[in-house]
Amino acid sequence: MAVSGNCAPWPTSRWWPNWSPWPPRAREQGLVEKLRGTADTLGHRDVHTPLGVAAPVLVPDWADGDLLVGPAEATMLVDVKTVVTLADPRRVAGWCWQILAYTWLDSLDLHRIRSVGLYLARHGVLVAWSARTLAGALLGDNNPGRVDQARREFVEVATQVIRGKGGVLPIA
C-alpha cells in the first residue's frame, strides 16, 4: 500500500496489531462496557438501542454536555477532559461544579441524569458518582433536604439569568 502526502493507512491489524481506539487502561477497566450500560448481564446488547447521546443540549445556547450514556431510565452525564495533570484542585472542583450544574439544569428530568462522571481521556479513567453524592460532597452536606434546597435555589437563579438574556429554561 502506497502512502502519499500526509495520509497514513487506516489502522488495521496488519499495520498496528494491537490497535484500539481506547487507551489500554480504558480497555482494562471495561470502560466501554460501563459507558454503554445497555447490555444485559451476559454482555449482549440490542444493536437498535442507542449507546447514548453526544453533545446533549441541556439549555440551548447555554449548556451542552459531552456525553449522555446508559439506559434511558437512568443516564450518566459524562464530561470528557484531556488534561495531562489534575494537580490544581480548584480546576477539578470547577469541573465537578459544572457537571453538577448541568445535571441540575435538566430541571424537568428530561434526560433522567442519575449519575455524573469525568472521563480523563489521556489516562483512560472514568471517575463517576451518583449526582446526589457529588452534590453532597460539593455542598459539604449530604442531607437530602439541603441538596434539594440548593438545587431549587440554583435553578431559580439560573432561570432568571437565562431568561434575562433571552434564553429558555426549563426546556421541554
pLDDT at 18: 46
Total length of the chain? 172
Beta-strand pair 75-81/57-59: unpaired
Within 13 Å and on the Cβ side, how many CA atoms surround 65?
29
| Model confidence pLDDT, tens digit, residues 21-45 | 445 555 555 666 666 554 555 555 5
Tell me the three state secondary structure of residue 72.
coil
C-alpha 60/C-alpha 81 separation (Å) is: 22
C-alpha 78/C-alpha 125 separation (Å) is: 12
Contact 37, 69 (CB under 8 A): yes
pLDDT at 6: 37
Q: What structural domains does the chain harbor?
A: 24-42+50-164 (3.90.1570)
Contact 126, 25 (CB under 8 A): no
Spatial CB neighbours of 25, under 8 Å, sequence gap ≥ 6: 31, 123, 124, 125
| Model confidence pLDDT, tens digit, residues 56-100 | 999 998 899 999 988 778 889 999 999 998 899 999 999 999 999
Question: Which band of pLDDT confidence, cut at 50, 70 and 90, is reported for residue 147?
Answer: very high
